[in-house]
Structure formats: C-alpha cells, structure tokens
Chain A
C-alpha cells in the first residue's frame, strides 16, 4: 500500500497550478489536504506522474464578504470552518457540518475545495453547498474564471464539471437571513464515517428560499422541490406525506430499503429544523 513514484511540485499560485495541469494533459493531480487523494494513491487506485500541491498557493485561503455572499477560498480546512476561523454566513450550518466530518485529524488537513472537487456523493460539503445554493468558482489557464452552481457541479460519483486544467478556487456561499432555519441529518453507523443517507433543509422565508436536498446517493445530491414547496407553504403534513413518493421519483435506481433510509434522513433533517435554531 505504497504509491507508485510521482513528482511533486509546490505551486505558488493558481496560475502555476493550472499551467502545470494543462501541460501534463491529465497526468497531473492537484494535492490539497490529501485526505482523499493519498489513500487512493496508496491503494494505487489513483496514479499521477505529478502532484501539484496547492496548500501554499496564493489566493486559495481568501475570504471575501459582501452583503449577500461570503466567498470562501477552496484551501480552508474543515477544522478552520469548525472553529469559526472562517466567517459562517449560514447561521451555524457550516460549522455544524464541519464538526461532523470524519475525525479531527482528518479535518485538520482536509479542505472544503478538496472535498467538493473529489465529489464523493456521500461527502458533506457536496450536499451542503447544493442545499445552500452556493456557487463554485473555477479557474483555468490564463486566469479564466467560471462560476458554476453547486447544485449540478457533480455530474456523477467522483465526477465534476471541473475541466482538466481547472482549479476550484473559491465557494460563494449566500448569506442566510436572521430568521432562516436549517436542518441537517446524516445516517452513519459510526462517528466519522461517510453518510449512508443524508438530508439537508434550508428555510429562509425572508429570502423566499426553501430548499431540501437528499444526499449520499449513488450520484449527485437531489433537490426535493415538491416537498420543499409544501414546507414553505407551512403544509408540514403534506410535505411529509409526499416525501416518500418524491424520494422514489428522484432516486428510482435505489433499492426500496435505501429509498426509505433516505426519506428518513430527510424527515429527520426537517424535524431538526425546530431544534437547530440559534447556534
């Protein structure tokens, strides 16, 4: 369980990283916290002749805030988000999510950008950013930037919209208003384990937002607009009633037992909303 030989470069800037990515034409990989990449290299499930370490690259630990969003550099770690070193515009949701990722040792190194780029369907940030309606900022060679909606960034398990020469540089997280409520629930067998099913809910009446996501599926997280609409209209009973059907509709490939488990995760996320006010 040792990786095949590779070269290592510490990129000083995003443009150095994107240039190297372009030059190596797919045979180079970005290394961030290494918490997903290094196990895969060790198992030789991933190979690459060059690792481009972006931990010290300028700009990836930026924080830019205005009245409507906070743009979080991709290089911030789960632990820093957990500890509040990064401003949390989500009324505690992000800190809560960060605290539930893996173990502290993993959180000390793993980055929010790495988690999103890795695109494990069970990863916490993947569902969280989808439910928040966040926007991912990707930069390619020549400083070319694109902004991609988090909902839709995943194209499948471990597959994203990132082009071969692109680096994820920041995540623009919309601010929730003071009255917003959220709920988040993971079904795990043990602490620090990836979720088997995940539900995330945001209800921000002031901004007219009510979004529900079911995550830890076989692919991208799915929005549940019908259930969300009923919830937004304060028709809780109807929302919960229709949930099972909507889950079946958005996850048709899942076994019935898995569909039920995902419905449970969402139901509990909705229930958690009333108890997760005011963090």
Chain B
C-alpha cells in the first residue's frame, strides 16, 4: 500500500513508540507494581555450596505453612525437559532441592511472610547440613576422566555430545596456511533492568490459578506450569504485564515460578516473589560461557579451505525448560561457519554439566560466541598471510551473487550482500586514513581497528526446532484483528513485548493493511486469556511471525470492511480504497466507524451476502520457507588500548546492518543500540567468575561490571534493506543482532592495536587483567627470544 493510504504510519514509518508515553511517565505496570489484598512475600533459602548431598534439614517448630522444603510441596513435579535428540541425557530439575544441591544459589527452602524482610528473616531460622562434594567449575573439569558426576546415573557429565564432519583431509593436505586458536567467553548474567518476578493468586470467580509473571512466553509458561502442577491448562491463566527486558532469561519456566504458583493454588491467597539483584547475579549466572579449540586451513591468499573445531559449553547443572541444555551447543556447532563460504568443516560439541546455574539462551544465543571465535580465526589467517583482515574477510564472505545460498551446515541464507556491508563499514570507520596515521595517540595508547561480520538466523520455525529436538516446536503464529463499532482496531497476539516495541510495530502492520490510523489501533499482548496462541518472543521472531499473522488477519478484516463499505457507497468492492484514515470510492467517503456501526448496530444496512464472521478474524502465519531469515551486519570499531593499565576505550563504532524491510527504522536502531551495548558488556566488562569450590565471585554490581552510558560509544548505524523473498513485506528479525558482533569486532581491534607488541588477547571479556597479561606474555616471549639470541 502507498504511504498515503496509511498516512505515513504503516510499514517503514519512523514513528515514535506507542508504549513509551506510559514508561516515560513512570506509569508502566510491572509485576513488582502489583498489589493485592493479603499478598504475602516469598524469599528463598539458597544453597551456599556448589555441590553437596543434603544430610539433614530442619525448620523451627510451628513454621509449617511459612517454611517449605521439597517434600512439603505435595503435587508438584520436577522440571523435566525432554529432547528427541539421540544421546541427550535428561536431568531432573527439582523445584526445590531434594537430596542434592548442584549450584550455589539453588533454592533449598521457600519462606513466606507478610513482607520480604520478614521472609528473609525466616530463611535464617532454617538448619541445613550439607555433605560437600567436589565442585565441577569448568567444562574441561567436567570432561576430565574421573570427574565427580553431577547426575551419577549418567556415567559422565555430558548432557550431549554431537559431531559433524564433511571430510577435512583434502583441505588439510592442500593448505599452506594453518592457524590454531584457543578461545573462550566468560559466564554472564543477562541483567534485564527488571529482574524476574511472579505474583500468583487464585481467582475464585473464574476458578483459575492466575499467575502474573515477567515472561517472554506466556503461552509456553501456561503449558509448563500446568504440567509441573498437574493441572488442566484451562485452570491456568498467565498474564505477563509490562516486562522490563527479557533477553532470554524470561523465556524459561523457573522453579521459583512453579513454587510460588503452588502456594497460590494450595492456599488460595496471593503470593509474590520478586528476584533481587543478588539472586540474579548468583542464581542467574547462566549465559555465554563457551570454549573453542579451532584449527583453520587456508590458501596463501587467505581463502578458507577448511575448519576443525571443538566447542564446549559450560551449561550448568540442569536442563532448562523448554530450551534444554543443548540449544547453545547445537547453535554453536551449526553457526560457527557464519557468513563465510566454507567447503570443509568438522566440529564436535560438548554440553558439559557443571556446578553452576542452568544455562539459558541469551540474546544472540550462541552467536556472540561463534562470531567471537570465527572472526578471530579470520583475523589470524589474515595475519598469517600478511593481508588486511577486511580484505580476507570480504573474499571469504558469501557473495550477493550466490544468494540464496545453502551453507555447509545446511543453513539457508535467503538474501543479502554480505561483502557490500563490510565494505561500507570499512569506509565509514575510515580504515585507509587510519592506516596512514600514527599507531599511538598522544597519551601513548595503542590504536587499532577491528571488524566483525555475522549472520543472524531469525524467526526460524518448525523445521529448525524439530531438528533441535525441543519439547515444543513453533508452527503457525496466530493473531486476532477486530474493527470495533466505533471504527477502532483491536489487535491481539500471543507474543509479548519485552521492550522491543511490538505495541507499535504490530500496530504499524495493522495500519498498513487496514488503513486504520495508528492512534486508534490498540494492541493487546501477554495474557493467555485474551490472546491467541503463540510460542512467544524469542529467536528474533516477533515482527516476522506475529507481524505476518497480524497482516493476514488484518487483510481478512480489510476485505470485509471493503465489502460493507462498497455496499454503503453503492460501488463494487474493488472500487474501495483506504486513504488518510478513511474509506473512499471516488470522492465519496466513509469513516471506519460508519462501517463498524453498520455491522454491529445497523444490520439492516448490510448487504445480503455479508460475511457472517463479521469484522474480526484470527489468522495464522509462518514464512513460506521457515528455516529462518538471515539478517546480517558488519561492525567496525576503533579502539585505544592503554598498555600500562590495560584499559580499552572505544573511540568510534560503526554498524552496517540489513534486516530486510524495516517496519520502523527507529525501533531497528533502538534494538541495535541496546544489543550492541550488551555486546560491549560481553567484550570488555561482564564476567561471573567462580572459585575452585564453585563459589561465584561476582555477587553484587561492584564485582559484576555493566557498561554504563559513559563507557558506550555513539554507535553509528547505516542500513541496507534487502527484502527476504520468503516473508510478508520482506521482513527479517533484528532483535538479537546488535549483541552478536561487538565482542568479535572489539577483540580484533584490540589485537590490531597490540600488534606492534606482538600481544594477543583471545578471551572475553578483554578485561585490563587479560590485556596486561597478554602484553606481559608477549614481553617475556620477546625476552626469551632475545636471551636465546644472545
């Protein structure tokens, strides 16, 4: 439809977000804002040790009904996440610890009181005796022979081991250039601004358990919760109110959610648990920790001939529901080749159980890790052949002329021009001028530029999830659209908005197909009682899936609007158009309210053949090819590295991205800024280290550093807009992309800067300690060489 038909508010319009007014006025309603008469607060006694048998537990006399151990929770089942992947081992994830604890922060007892402080007081009255077992605190330790087993019945500590081998022998034989790298990324927490929170109560009138929970996936939580509580799903209603960021942390069924719901079900009064920062930092340290051992083979130009990789993911103690402990490694193995043309590839992946919180898919899922590894490989090859990294990168990227392109791991890249984005990034960052200038600044800091390119598989659907063996597989997403009697539009979807602006973009899509003005479109999300089923908001799928469904349902309603309008205007439906928020046939026009009123209140005006389904429709949508739409980008960054303090400053940062048709460029940019900020956190700041006993060493924000506004550069973004051939409007997903490349681009820039010192940093975050250690190591290598020469 043309811009005039939608008043410039439809798909592609840079309109402000509808949801921002309430947030900017502090009138958002989050779980923590809910108050109910008689509501009690819950606090958890959490395990102080990483791995132990529970020898005994006792609570003070008279505390029944206020303090709960596992065996008090009659009728609850453990969280069990099955997978259809052969060899996958199932973990029993008890909602409160049973005979063993497997990570510091695991809930051991639940305490209930009139307020949180009093509930925390109760946690101090409990006596639990632990018989400590050796803690497994790294994937290497977990895989070592004779390692203590987390789940003794397994026989090892591997949730899953996978391998893929296209045959490497020829590549190895042919390759004059070989690079070998060990690379790792640190464990992180996701840190949504709003932590997890649950308020559960029993609705006597509806006869339903109503759970307000801060989640990305209300319909999935309904299914999972009903299963753990042994309830029919009709008796469970999930409401996700405003959600202050999710990032994957809130796409899981959490034990705390189950037990708080159990309280409401059992006592029929309201209960609340609001996660605090310390709980998040300790029990929520569940993301990003990968370890790579890579051998890559190339010709003298730097063209990749083959790659041999081993990936170990430190997935923690249990398998989360529903994404399992193995999604991360599956993605890591499958996505490591990234945007490159690779013809020989072997990879082994290990999902290793450790005494840490259960791993969850964090924005970008495995891709920040694989991009971090792959992009270092490209730079290492470039160094080995003595060429500029961007050149070698450009020559290895899948060219635009090859699209659509199916890569070696059977990923189907739908459209785009990867090298073109890289070239733009190179121009924007000013590489040529930089190379002509000084390597150090006036303060003696070393300067460098780094690049990273990636693809972001988005909105992958049935085929992909079925192959991953998850307990649920997304199919069609549904949406409901309805014209109200007064001519406004209601849009309902089972997806949820967690900050990504869906109240605006779904309205823009509805506006695009119905012509109804944006201001009179009301989007409702997040409540299982009022929205059609969707598996929810994850995997950069919202605007593709829910957007597609809203378009479909909207088109159906639009046709019916036209049919009624045509009758009222005495023309044929094909003569009816939408323009400037009204309905036209030639110069005659109607308002949407005229049509709404006719259907609902003045049926005598309707044509005889009017559609009985009226002015509302529920439709389902999935892309024609649902193996995922591949957004992509190249990032380029200029840094200064202080060789005496190890501090890295980002001087300039450019992003050239392509997510297909942008429904709202301003929102695309907002998503990109936010993701990139988190990427800077991964690159330079965020880390949840553990000591040898499995004690987390970052349990407050003094020790867990998040980047703040001062540490973030002004990201400069340029767009390309290559439509996807497979989706409505040519949209692709974009929610996660920003987070993927910064660690890779920044580490490459640091290593470029440190090249004169021969120092290389391979692990994230590139903390001052790691940078200084790399410089020291280079110095001692140089000293050793000098010594040998002397």
A interface, CB within 8 angstroms of B: 1-5, 39, 43-44, 187, 189-194, 196, 257, 260-261, 264
Q: In the complex, are the beta carbons of B277 and A189 less than 8 A apart? A: no
Q: In the complex, are the beta carbons of A1 and B276 less than 8 A apart? A: yes
What residues of A have a CB within 8 angstroms of the CB of B710 in the complex? 190-192
A9–B119 alpha-carbon span in the complex (Å): 25
- Pick the 4 closest A-B CB pairs, nearest first: A2-B117, A191-B710, A1-B276, A264-B644
Q: In the complex, are the beta carbons of B711 and A191 less than 8 A apart? A: yes
Known contacts A5-B121, A191-B710, A257-B776; is-contact A43 B705 (Cβ 8 Å): no
Q: In the complex, are the beta carbons of A190 and B708 less than 8 A apart? A: yes
**Most chain B beta carbons < 10 A, residue from A190, A196, A261:** A190
B57 close to A (CB within 8 Å): no
For residue A265, which residue of chain B has the nearest CB?
B645
A257–B646 alpha-carbon span in the complex (Å): 11
B385 close to A (CB within 8 Å): no
What distance in Å separates the Cβ of B718 from its nearest Cβ neighbour in chain A? Answer: 28
Chain B interface residue bracket vs A: 20 to 34
B647 close to A (CB within 8 Å): yes
Q: In the complex, are the beta carbons of A261 and B705 less than 8 A apart? A: no
CB-defined A-B contacts under 8 Å, sample of 15: A1-B276, A1-B277, A1-B279, A2-B116, A39-B700, A43-B278, A43-B700, A44-B120, A187-B647, A189-B685, A190-B710, A192-B708, A194-B702, A261-B645, A264-B644
Q: In the complex, are the beta carbons of A2 and B120 less than 8 A apart? A: yes
Q: Which of A1, A189, A194, A257 contacts B647 (CB 8 A)?
A: A189
What residues of A have a CB within 8 angstroms of the CB of B277 in the complex? 1
A62–B784 alpha-carbon span in the complex (Å): 61
B399 close to A (CB within 8 Å): no
What distance in Å separates the Cβ of A106 from its nearest Cβ neighbour in chain B? Answer: 12
A194–B702 alpha-carbon span in the complex (Å): 8
B768 close to A (CB within 8 Å): yes
B707 close to A (CB within 8 Å): yes
User: Considering the complex, which residues of chain B in the window 668-725 have a beta carbon less than 8 Å from any beta carbon of chain A?
Assistant: 685, 700, 702, 705, 707-708, 710-711
Q: In the complex, are the beta carbons of A3 and B768 less than 8 A apart? A: no
A191–B649 alpha-carbon span in the complex (Å): 12
A1–B116 alpha-carbon span in the complex (Å): 8
Known interface pairs A190-B705, A190-B711, A264-B645; 10 further A-B residue pairs with C-beta atoms within 8 A, sorted by A's residue number? A1-B277, A1-B278, A2-B115, A4-B117, A4-B120, A4-B121, A187-B645, A193-B705, A196-B768, A261-B645
Known contacts A2-B120, A4-B117, A43-B700; is-contact A257 B711 (Cβ 8 Å): no
Q: In the complex, are the beta carbons of A190 and B707 less than 8 A apart? A: yes
What residues of B have a CB within 8 angstroms of the CB of A190 in the complex? 685, 705, 707-708, 710-711
Q: In the complex, are the beta carbons of A257 and B276 less than 8 A apart? A: no
Q: In the complex, are the beta carbons of A257 and B708 less than 8 A apart? A: no
Known contacts A2-B116, A264-B645; is-contact A191 B121 (Cβ 8 Å): no
A-B contact count (CB 8 A): 53
A102–B277 alpha-carbon span in the complex (Å): 19
Q: In the complex, are the beta carbons of B768 and A189 less than 8 A apart? A: yes
B772 close to A (CB within 8 Å): yes
A260–B115 alpha-carbon span in the complex (Å): 49
B387 close to A (CB within 8 Å): no
What residues of A have a CB within 8 angstroms of the CB of B644 in the complex? 260-261, 264
A43–B707 alpha-carbon span in the complex (Å): 23
What distance in Å separates the Cβ of B361 from its nearest Cβ neighbour in chain A? Answer: 27
B773 close to A (CB within 8 Å): yes
What residues of A have a CB within 8 angstroms of the CB of B769 in the complex? 257
A189–B340 alpha-carbon span in the complex (Å): 35
What residues of A have a CB within 8 angstroms of the CB of B776 in the complex? 257
What distance in Å separates the Cβ of B322 from its nearest Cβ neighbour in chain A? Answer: 30
What residues of B have a CB within 8 angstroms of the CB of A257 in the complex? 769, 772-773, 776
For residue A257, which residue of chain B has the nearest CB?
B772
What residues of B have a CB within 8 angstroms of the CB of A2 in the complex? 115-117, 120
User: Considering the complex, which residues of chain B in the window 542-601 have a beta carbon less than 8 Å from any beta carbon of chain A?
Assistant: none
A264–B647 alpha-carbon span in the complex (Å): 12
What distance in Å separates the Cβ of B258 from its nearest Cβ neighbour in chain A? Answer: 22
For residue A185, which residue of chain B has the nearest CB?
B645
A196–B767 alpha-carbon span in the complex (Å): 13
Known contacts A190-B685, A257-B769, A257-B776; is-contact A3 B707 (Cβ 8 Å): no
A260–B768 alpha-carbon span in the complex (Å): 12
What distance in Å separates the Cβ of A243 from its nearest Cβ neighbour in chain B? Answer: 13
For residue B117, which residue of chain A has the nearest CB?
A2
What distance in Å separates the Cβ of A170 from its nearest Cβ neighbour in chain B? Answer: 29
A196–B121 alpha-carbon span in the complex (Å): 35
A192–B708 alpha-carbon span in the complex (Å): 10
A128–B685 alpha-carbon span in the complex (Å): 28
For residue A193, which residue of chain B has the nearest CB?
B705
B115-134 vs A, CB cutoff 8 Å, 1 = contact: the mask equals 11100110000000000000
What residues of A have a CB within 8 angstroms of the CB of B711 in the complex? 190-191
A261–B707 alpha-carbon span in the complex (Å): 22
What distance in Å separates the Cβ of B604 from its nearest Cβ neighbour in chain A? Answer: 64
What distance in Å separates the Cβ of B107 from its nearest Cβ neighbour in chain A? Answer: 16
A68–B708 alpha-carbon span in the complex (Å): 41
A44–B700 alpha-carbon span in the complex (Å): 13
A264–B776 alpha-carbon span in the complex (Å): 15
A140–B192 alpha-carbon span in the complex (Å): 47
Q: Which of A5, A187, A261, A264 contacts B117 (CB 8 A)?
A: A5
